Amino acid sequence: MSAFLDDVSRIVASPVSRRKTLRLVCGAFVGAVSASLGFGRASWGSGGPDPGPAGAAVTCPQNQTACGSQCCNSSQSCCNKKICCNNNESCCGTGGHSKCCPPGKVCCKGLCCTPGPSPSTPCVNSNKCS
């Protein structure tokens, strides 16, 4: 929203006619509303493969699925749209801090840990985190 207000301030302060100023301000407003509703390039998170760094969708070979900028095979699952974990591993973390926990470990605050003594609360008294 602050970028929108900055644009409006620049437009109003520039030496242009009132008609052109009104047209530019309305265009900026429509662009801001469209972006917030998910139209345009800024809203790639609406399903489908991650666009990757260059904005182009990842194309994977048959029997593989897109996972961020890589492809997972049939013995892997996609963890937070970032990395591929083997089916016997569990996804841990969020966003750019995703990792795969090996079997027998639980995810506690983004770390793979040996579970504590209580199965209902595995992160309480957990130890040996990596």
**pLDDT digit string, tens, across residues 12-62:** 676 767 776 677 667 766 666 666 665 554 334 444 444 444 445 678 888
Per-residue pLDDT reduced to its tens digit, 91-128 = 998 766 889 999 989 888 888 888 888 878 888 877 77
pLDDT for the residue numbered 121: 84
Q: Is residue 13 part of a domain?
A: yes
- Look up the domain containing 6 and give its range: 2-43
Tokens representing 93 are 């973390």
How many domains in the chain? Answer: 1
Handedness of CA 62, 65, 67, 71 (dihedral sign): negative
pLDDT score recorded for residue 73: 92
**Its pTM surpasses 0.75:** no
Q: Is residue 26 part of a domain?
A: yes
End-to-end C-alpha distance for the chain, whole angstroms: 40
